[in-house]
Amino acid sequence: MTTANKVTILRILLIPFFVVQILYYFRTGDELHRTLGLLSFAVAAILDGVDGYIARHYNQKSELGAMLDPLGDKLLLVSGIVLLSFTNQTRLRTMPLWLTATIISRDVLLVLGWAVIHLMCGKVTVRPRMLGKIATVFQMATVLWILLKWKEAFLPYLIWGALFSTAGSGLLYIWDGMRQLSASPSSSPHSQQ
């Protein structure tokens, strides 16, 4: 258990706290709950960079970390995006459902693609893409902007940036997956004798 993995686990443990605080804020309107939810989301987002820095600079990359780190990202972002998509809450700006659907669909497709490649090829090579990192930044910035209740004039730029970078990164990951599948001997036609 490396230090980087401990930071990742702490980040994952902050997610239920974030969700509960925002739900309490929706119910009560108590600004303390919004502030605590906002702080836990922000700390978890910052720790995402911290665990990566520790893993790279102190040679603490591990298979566990390679699995937990993206899982922590997805859990944090999807929980924030789904919470902010509730149309019955009136205390915060609502996330557009088409953005929520795009983000969740991309993540579901990536998980399904990973499973298919793992079954067919035995090994999955995931190459992080810069556009995927940009999508994560746009998604986190959108959630934070809404939680902070900042002026809405700039929010559409974040939302559209999140949409296009998420969709584009999804297409790139699908392209990578298709290349892995087509290079695998198991995807070649079997010759019958």
How confident is the model at residue 189, as a pLDDT? Answer: 67
The chain-wide mean pLDDT, for the chain, equals: 90
How confident is the model at residue 161, as a pLDDT? Answer: 98
The string of pLDDT tens digits covering residues 105-140 is 999 998 899 889 888 888 777 777 899 989 999 999
- 5 within 8 A of 68, measured Cβ to Cβ: yes
Q: Which residues does 134 contact at the CB level (< 8 Å), separation at least 6? A: 161, 165, 169
CA distance linking residue 11 with residue 33, whole number of Å: 19
The string of pLDDT tens digits covering residues 180-192 is 888 877 666 665 5
Instruction: Give residue for tokens 């004798």.
Output: 193
How confident is the model at residue 57, as a pLDDT? Answer: 87
Q: pTM score, two decimals?
A: 0.88
Q: Is the pLDDT of residue 193 over 70?
A: no
